[in-house]
Amino acid sequence: MSEAALTPRRMKDLDELCSRLGLNCGRMSLVNEALTHSSHAVENTGLKDYEKLEFFGDAVLKFVVSEYLLDRFPTYMEGQLTEIRAVLVSDKVLAEIAREINLDKYILLGRQVQMRPSIMADCLEALIGAAYQDLGLFPVQNLIVRLFGSHATEVDRDGTYENHKAILQEYTQGRAQGLPIYTVLNSEGPAHQPTFTIAVSIAGDAIATGTGPSKKQAEQEAARLAFEKLKEKEL
C-alpha cells in the first residue's frame, strides 16, 4: 500500500508514533506494513503484513545490541555478552518495550484476532526493520539504545529480566490493594550521572524505597524490594 492509499487518520497516527520515537519517517507505507498482522492483511486486499520486516528487523536488532553490549561491557567474556543479548532480544523484553511505547495502539489485527505479547514483540522488530530501510543505520542505532539501554542494566544485574513494577501491580490488584504509587524523594549528583531515590506506596502506606541512575530503574528497584517485603509478611 502506498502512502496515498493510507487514510489521513492512519497517516496522522503513524506520524505521531514516529515523532514520539524520534524518527523522521519518510516511507509511511513501510511503517504501516510493520504494524500490520497477517490476519488484517488477509481481510484487506493489497496490504502487506509485517513478517518480512520482522525477519529483517530481528537481524538489525541483534547486530546493534551486540555492538552496544561490546561498548558498554568491555570486560565481559563472549559467553556473558551472549547471555545478556539473548535476554534483551527475547519476546518477553520486546513485548515489554512495545508496551512502554504503546505500540499496540497502532497495530492492525484481523477481526477474530486478539492482541498478544508475541504480536507486539514481532511488530517492534518489524518497526526496527522498517526504520532501517527508510532511514539507515544511525537513527535505528539511536532508537535501539534509547529503548533497550535501561533494560540492559536490569539484565546485567542478575542475568535475567523481570518487570518488577508489573509484578508488584499484579500482586496488589489481585488482593484489592489498588495501584502502587511511586514518588521521587531525591535526585542528586551531576546531570550526566544522577542518582534517583523513589518510594513506592500502597494504599497510602510507604512500603520501600529504591535508588538508581534513572527514575525508571529506581522505580524498578523500589518495586522489587516492596514485593519482597509483602511476600515476607505472608510467611
Complete DSSP assignment for 45-75: TT---SHHHHHHHHHHHHHHHHHHHHHH-TT
Burial 18-43 (b: 16+ CB within 10 A, else e): beebebebeebbbbbbbbbbbbbbee
Do the beta carbons of residue 125 and residue 143 sit within 8 Å? no
Task: Note if 125 is an active site residue.
Answer: yes
Q: What is the pLDDT of residue 175?
A: 85
pLDDT at 162 (0 to 100):
65
Given a cut of 70, the residues of the chain with pLDDT beneath it are: 1-5, 156-162, 192, 235
Answer for the pair 84, 152: CB distance below 8 angstroms, yes or no: yes
Mention the CATH class of domain 8-151: mainly alpha
Nine cell digits for residue 165: 513494577
Residue written as grid cell 516492596: 226
Q: Which of 58, 91, 104, 162 is catalytic?
A: 58
SS3 183: strand
In the prediction, which pLDDT does 235 show? 62
Q: Pick the catalytic residue: 13, 54, 96, 125?
A: 125
Domains of the chain, residue spans: 8-151, 164-234
43 is catalytic: no
Q: The whole model's pTM is what?
A: 0.68
CATH topology of domain 164-234: Double Stranded RNA Binding Domain (3.30.160)
Residues 6+ apart with CB under 8 A from 15: 25, 28
From the number of C-beta atoms within 10 Å of its C-beta (0-12, 13-18, 19+), residue 110 rates as middle
99: cell is 508496551
